[in-house]
Amino acid sequence: MGKKFLVALALILSSCATLKNPVNFYYALKPLKKPEAPEFYLEDIYDGLFTGYDYVKNEFASEFLDSMYTVIEEQYRKELLELGLPEDAYQRREVMKWALYFARHANVKINARLRRGAPYLPYIKRRLKEEGMPEAIAYLPIIESAFRHNALSRMRARGIWQFMRSTARKYGLRVDWWMDERLDPYKSTDAALRYLKDLYNMFGSWDLALAAYNAGEGRILRALKRSGGNDFFDLKRYLRRETREYVPKFLALVLVINNPEKFGTNIIMPEEKEQEFDTVIVPRQVNISLLAKWAGISEREFRKLNPSFVRWATPPYLRNFAVRIPKGRKSLFYARMKSTPKSKWYRALAHRVRRGESLWTIARRYGVSVYALKRANRIRRARYLRPGQVLVIPVGPGAKARYARRNRKIKVTGKGYHRVREGETLWSIARAYGVSVKALKSINHLRSSRIRPGDVLKLPKARGYAKRSNENGSKLSGLTLKKGYHRVKKGETLWSIAKHYGVSVSALKRLNHLRSSRIKPGDIIKVPQRRISYARKKNKTKKRGYYTVKKGDTLWKIARKTGVSVDKIKKVNGLISTSIKPGQVLKIPGEG
């Protein structure tokens, strides 16, 4: 065995404790030999940089990296200088780590994203050249959004340049309920370049400008003050992890794109051809579907050209605004626009407010949010809603049919449904129909007991009532109890009901599956179908088998009178103790 092999084996065995991932351990067991080409063991070095095993300290890996550094093209060094970074910035460990990562996943992380951004890259590069900014910044959306125009971050940043709402408005992008210009690749590009240029003028170098673009100006200024340095690598320890990796990741991406052959990857650059379209001027608010029809394309294709329109129509406040259509269709568009009556340009559902209705009930009826209703009708406070007022319902033209289909399933005036009135609660409705609140919530998929006037509730099959005499009402007077059920009246308790029907409380609880003795007026409980009559006068009840307890009676006295043992009386009446009360009816086994 050679000396170098033994040294390498010793290094591997000494580092086994740090290689927790079995895949990395497999790579670590690969024999190391002196590299003959730049592609030598890229995976080994990649795994080492990410797992903590310091391959860079290995003499063969160091030799490989040195050979790679010497073949980096002059073009990349030039771009580093344009970015305000030293020529040897790519030799940083964190930059090389990401370079090897991009090289390993080039098809997914670079080629697919370049294809997605192909329609916009020529425009971005042209605008960078006009602004005198480094061309490498054109690849920043690959890291920001993967060139997805509708990308949304966890911090609610949107678009290919991942603008926050406040920053977008600051740089002239319109962001409201009707439209979001962060989604427009062309308008957001102009705003992003202005923002980056302002950051460069503030910090004096592109690495700090890029870091501020990710983290915000204030965070970078504080980090500079704490570190006392003047470039990104001096202050990275004072930044959060996302920003610490942001600039090295961007530098590594540019390195791999400019030197694919040195990393053994195949970077496919898209064709440098700018997307072509015509721009037409529209004087007033129009439905998006009608604009697409005028252009002779589908609504989906129209929205792809004009992604900033996020509703079913253009905003009502826009006048003489520009929209994009496919190349060569301008004359067709204007001809169709002029031939369409202006009364048909904008259509939406309308709703006249009835007494007792609120924004919440109207929004629920049409399947939209309260916020959408308020924005579409410019309502600042919901309490200003008045009966007779006409509201615009912010849904597309097809919503009327969808609404009709949905409401055909709910026959409000028919059997099995109830429309909530003012003052009603889920408990009062359950009481009126002889069902439990739990059953009502279950059949209507309600998470809480919160309901509002105008809501339509589906009713479960009532257990305690016969036929309803008044279909449209919900009062108890219109309902008839079946035999074997009892409606709890005010002042009644489970004990008094048990006494009335000649049964024990525990028997009633078992019959109704009650865990406690708590009942409320209006509750429907099941009782024995054969009602037991008993006298209210001074023990005049001579009905065989029952005895009404008088004042001063004890179980022992009653057992003596009836000739039955105390234990038998307790057993047949389900009594745990010998405690009894005057007026209580006891069942007497045998002769009474």
Q: CA nearest 521: which of 459, 432, 423, 439?
A: 432
Query: Is 144 considered catalytic here?
Result: yes
Q: Are 151 and 163 in contact (CB under 8 A)?
A: no
Got the DSSP string for 218-240?
HHHHHHHHHH--SSHHHHGGGS-
- The distance of Cα 394 from the centroid of its chain, to the nearest Å, equals 21
Rg from Cα positions in the chain: 40
- The distance of Cα 132 from the centroid of its chain, to the nearest Å, equals 41
Encode burial over 68-87: b for 16+ CB neighbours within 10 A, e otherwise. Answer: beeebeeebbebbeebbbee
Scanning the structure block, which residue is given the tokens 């980096």? 72
What lies within 8 Å, CB to CB, of 381 at 6+ separation is none
Cα dihedral sign for 255, 261, 262, 264? positive
Going from the C-alpha of 36 to that of each of 30, 59, 80, 289, 292, the distances in angstroms are 16, 14, 28, 62, 60
Cα dihedral sign for 151, 321, 195, 215? negative
Collapsing DSSP to helix, strand or coil, 539 comes out as coil
Angstrom distance (rounded) from CA 122 to CA 194: 18
What is the chain's length?
Answer: 592
- Catalytic option among 82, 135, 144, 217: 144
- Give first-to-last CA distance, the chain, whole Å: 110
Scanning the structure block, which residue is given the tokens 């289909």? 405
Scanning the structure block, which residue is given the tokens 């993967």? 146
Q: CA nearest 27: which of 13, 44, 14, 40?
A: 44
Q: Are 427 and 388 in contact (CB under 8 A)?
A: no
Going from the C-alpha of 28 to that of each of 18, 44, 50, 504, the distances in angstroms are 11, 7, 13, 79
Alpha helices per DSSP H over 204-298: 206-215, 217-227, 232-235, 241-258, 288-295
Q: Strand pairing of 321-325 and 349-352?
A: unpaired
Residues serving a catalytic function are 144
